[in-house]
Structure 1
Amino acid sequence: MAPHPVSPSPSAHGARSPAAALFDAIGADYETAFADLPEQLAALDWLIAELPPGSKVLDIGSGTGRPTAERLTAAGHRVTGIDVSATMVELARARVPGAVFEQVDARDLVDDDAAWDAVCAFFPFLQLPRADLDHQLERLGARLVPGGLLAFATVPAEADGVEIDWLGHRARVTSHAGEELLVRLRAAGLEILRQRVSVFHPRHPAAGPEEQLFVHARKSAAG
């Protein structure tokens, strides 16, 4: 069965948003820096164990396709990845031909209410303005079928447009502290099944240790 298609809004946010420019510049270095991220691999193991074969999975901020789309596709799931970066989409299509990848900003997705058995969102919203970040957190529950699963990760910090050096590039980041993120996910209709904060050391000479929050969640079966 083919992966689920996505429909971008006609009023797109633009292919050369700051996030697109950042990840076009980083390219395959991102995969190298964050290869074998233990909590991400654990989240994928959880999804593979819980999802029935052929499930429709949306991977927001799909990057190079590895490891998320690659592992889920190998497990028999229909994966659609979206990313704002043309470079990332090109790399992912070459690495994981069994999945579908589109250059789409998550803010421009339409017609995806209750469309997905699972959503993966590993660090995709950190470059969004605060209002857009909050709206995307609200949308995570709506995108899932009743009983659908979410694997989510971000950097938990109270930050609003803070400029940092990251993987040798300047980046502007926005997030919430950990407990506030959990409050917002619960408000989106999600039951938190597991939460873990850990520290990861990216494999990159310009990167320091990074605190990360990983969440496994499920949408209520009642919708």
Structure 2
Amino acid sequence: MSEELTTAAELFDAIGAGYEEAFGRRPVVDAAVRELIEVLPPSARVLDIGSGTGRPAAAELVAAGHRVTGIDVSAEMVRIAREQVPGAEFVQADVREWETSPGSWDAVCAFFSFVQLSRAETERVLGRIAGWLAPGGRFALVTVPADIENVPIEFLGHSIRVTSFPVDALVERVRAAGLEVTGTREETFEPETPGTEPEEHVLISARKPG
């Protein structure tokens, strides 16, 4: 295996645009974005956590008339996203430390943003997200569900450690953060990149009561 990269920033600085080439059109993300566009009010404020290259999520939300801010730990991803989606704002930041006003977002999306966080960190971030959402605000979470913690894997030529939850356990943690789960969707994704294994994906849709 290649030298282990210990942080998400190091990983995605190294991968850059290659991430979009391998994983740019995942059906579960497309479904999550369509769902948000259907339910959001006009010109909604949307926070995209782990915004990556800005496509497809931020690009499609901006095209639908929404005001999007993306945060990502990778300086390279932020650079690419600013070039590809000039209609959104992108900030280099770690979601564990980033600050924003309570109740200030109509929607928050997090697509594959938590797999390099510990379980305790994921729980804390979910609680922060619930605080950031306005009453009635929407949350869309997409991840790779699995009962794993700090497991080494090979990902696009880099060695990383990943953590996740089984679907039911993750649903319970979204609820424990104070959000109402409105639906789930599971599917298998087969990347087109040679040598890349199929992945199980899950979308958890939720809203903040009120």
> May I ask how many residue pairs the two structures share in their alignment?
206
Distance 2:82 2:95 in 1: 18
- Deviation, 1:137, is 2.1
Residue in structure 2 matched with residue 85 of structure 1 by the alignment = 74
Tell whether the 8 Å contact from 1:44 to 1:68 is kept in structure 2 after alignment: yes
Tell whether the 8 Å contact from 2:72 to 2:78 is kept in structure 1 after alignment: yes
For 1:131, which of 109, 114, 120 is the aligned residue?
Answer: 120
- Cα 1:23–1:206 shift into 2, 3 Å: farther
For 2:110, which of 109, 112, 121 is the aligned residue?
Answer: 121
Structure 1 residue 180 corresponds to structure 2 residue 199: no
For 1:99, which of 62, 77, 88 is the aligned residue?
Answer: 88
CA-atom RMSD in angstroms? 1.3
- Stretch deviating more after TM superposition (47-56 or 64-73): 47-56
Cα deviation, 1:14-35, whole Å, max 9, x if unaligned, reads: xx96100001111111111112
Tell whether the 8 Å contact from 1:117 to 1:144 is kept in structure 2 after alignment: yes
Distance 1:94 1:146 in 2: 33
Misfit runs of 4+, over 6 Å:
none
For 1:147, which of 136, 154, 157 is the aligned residue?
Answer: 136
Residue in structure 2 matched with residue 43 of structure 1 by the alignment = 32
Residue in structure 1 matched with residue 187 of structure 2 by the alignment = 198
With structure 2 as the length reference, what TM-score do the two structures score? 0.94
Cα deviation, 1:87-127, whole Å, max 9, x if unaligned, reads: 10000000000000010000111233211100010010111
- The DSSP-based 3-state class of the residue aligned with 2:141 is strand
Tell whether the 8 Å contact from 2:111 to 2:143 is kept in structure 1 after alignment: yes
With structure 1 as the length reference, what TM-score do the two structures score? 0.89
Listed as ranges, the gaps of 5+ residues in structure 1 are: 1-15
Distance 2:61 2:51 in 1: 12
Cα deviation, 1:40-80, whole Å, max 9, x if unaligned, reads: 11111111111111110000000000001100001110000
Q: Which amino acid aligns with 1:214?
A: L
Q: Which amino acid aligns with 1:210?
A: E
Q: Which amino acid aligns with 2:181?
A: I
Tell whether the 8 Å contact from 1:152 to 1:215 is kept in structure 2 after alignment: yes
Cα deviation, 1:141-198, whole Å, max 9, x if unaligned, reads: 1121000001111111111110001122111101111111000101112111110111
Tell whether the 8 Å contact from 1:167 to 1:204 is kept in structure 2 after alignment: no
Tell whether the 8 Å contact from 2:123 to 2:177 is kept in structure 1 after alignment: no
